[in-house]
Amino acid sequence: MSGLPLDVVGIGEVLIDFVATKPGSYLDVPAFQKCFGGAPMNTLVGAARLGLKTGAITAVGEDPFGKFLIRELQTYGADTSQVKIK
């Protein structure tokens, strides 16, 4: 990590949940909203909201979705120095 003492480190998947903007079959809904997700990282965000110092060990794609995920982690103050961009 970046040399800072951390209270919690999340290791594992980070992903985007695509949530339908209206109820209905995924075949018929007009649009989806992207939402930050992944159990280890949701737990990390929860810890950060409680005031703990957090860091993430995970990997994201070198694309707009990967940038979105890193930005969301950083929004909650998570150390992202160990997030691998592939």
Domains annotated for the chain, with CATH where assigned, are: 8-85 (3.40.1190.30)
Q: Check residue 38 and give left, alpha or beta (phi > 0: left; psi -120 to 50: alpha).
A: left
**What pLDDT, on a 0 to 100 scale, did the predictor assign at position 4?**
67
pTM above 0.85, yes or no: yes
**What pLDDT, on a 0 to 100 scale, did the predictor assign at position 69?**
98
- Per residue in 40-83, pLDDT tens? 999 999 999 999 999 999 999 999 999 999 999 999 999 999 99
How many Cα atoms sit within 13 Å of 71 on the Cβ side?
Answer: 8
Q: How far is CA 9 from CA 32, 43, 47, 76, in A?
A: 30, 10, 10, 13
